[in-house]
Amino acid sequence: MREWARAAAAPTTVTAVVNVGDDLWLSGLRVCPDLDSVMYALAGVNDAERGWGRAGERERVAGELAAYGTGWPWFTLGDLDLGTHIARTGWLHEGLPLSEATRRLAARWDLGVELLPASDDPVETHVVTDAGELHFEEWWTRHRGTVPARRFVQHGVELARPGPGVLAAIAETDLVLLAPSNPVVSIGTILGIDGIREAVRATAAPVVGVSPIIGGAVVRGMADACLEAIGVETSARAVGAWYGARSSAGLLDGWLVGEEDAEAVPALEAAGLRAASVPLWMRDPSTTARMVEAAVALARRD
């Protein structure tokens, strides 16, 4: 409780720049897995047990699709979740950009965080395998990442511009936090959009990353398979080194690793990064709050 009270006493605004590379069209509906996951989680309506979608979900619509012999058995959309996709798709068809559709969706909930799509332009992460290219969500959700990934392609990324407010948010913030998200296909996609990496490099604010690898294990998802494809070891130290220190053309001022990775701290420090090890498994809100406090402390450390 103390942590939350303290946070409430210091009014802050938080802007989340969210990956759009996993977005996909399903039967004419625009599905944005990352934006929706963040929105549902912040709204407190996510299905924490299952790890995706809405709590209290039913699948009557998906049942109809199955009865018609169609649908996406590997990517079942619940009824409540479909409401989000249909609302968004309607706004996109009216000509609104994704950022405005996202703002309208978020307006329903009390998120406490502003959600900005990394881009209003379509960027689609594909996985190149020996059997051909797959949309990232198909590779991840359908094949559980078991088909070896040769490399990742972000279609459209070279044409994509940062979404409205993204560069300003990075330039004007007091602290940039790189979430413990997939460094290759989530954060990597965001950083690949024209100007975003440069904005992170140029901001006056300290940049602190939180390792998505804890004791050699991924927090969630297929970061290990993704890292393997780009030739980076699945370790907190290797990922920190891959992002690199701002002082040597990298992105980070600080790198927070798990308590399991305490032994990596000296090497990271030697490479020009402020590093610290703390509990990174976000078991409950107070652990998460302490993790964020540690990141802030690392940012403030001289």
Which residue lies nearer to a second copy by CB, 65 or 171?
65
As measured in angstroms, the least distance from the Cβ of 151 to a second copy is 28
Which residue lies nearer to a second copy by CB, 60 or 283?
60
As measured in angstroms, the least distance from the Cβ of 91 to a second copy is 7
What is the distance between the alpha carbons of residues 123 and 132, in angstroms, rounded to a whole number?
19
As measured in angstroms, the least distance from the Cβ of 25 to a second copy is 7
240 half-sphere exposure, CB direction, 13 A CA radius: 32
Which residue lies nearer to a second copy by CB, 82 or 264?
82
DSSP secondary structure of 84-108: HHHHHHHHHHTT--HHHHHHHHHHT
Residue ranges that bind a second copy, judged by CB under 8 A: 25-30, 58, 60-65, 67-71, 79-80, 82-84, 86-87, 89-93, 104-105, 107-108
Which residue lies nearer to a second copy by CB, 82 or 118?
82
Which residue lies nearer to a second copy by CB, 7 or 43?
43
Q: Which amino acid is at 182?
A: N
As measured in angstroms, the least distance from the Cβ of 86 to a second copy is 5
Report in angstroms the alpha-carbon separations of 136 from 150, 197, 238, 255: 13, 22, 23, 27
Taking alpha carbons only, the member of 45, 209, 41, 30 closest to residue 120 is: 30
As measured in angstroms, the least distance from the Cβ of 166 to a second copy is 23
Which residue lies nearer to a second copy by CB, 46 or 203?
46
What are the residue ranges of helices labelled H in 173-256? 187-192, 196-202, 223-229, 236-243
As measured in angstroms, the least distance from the Cβ of 103 to a second copy is 11
What is the distance between the alpha carbons of residues 122 and 6, in angstroms, rounded to a whole number?
39
What is the distance between the alpha carbons of residues 219 and 157, in angstroms, rounded to a whole number?
26
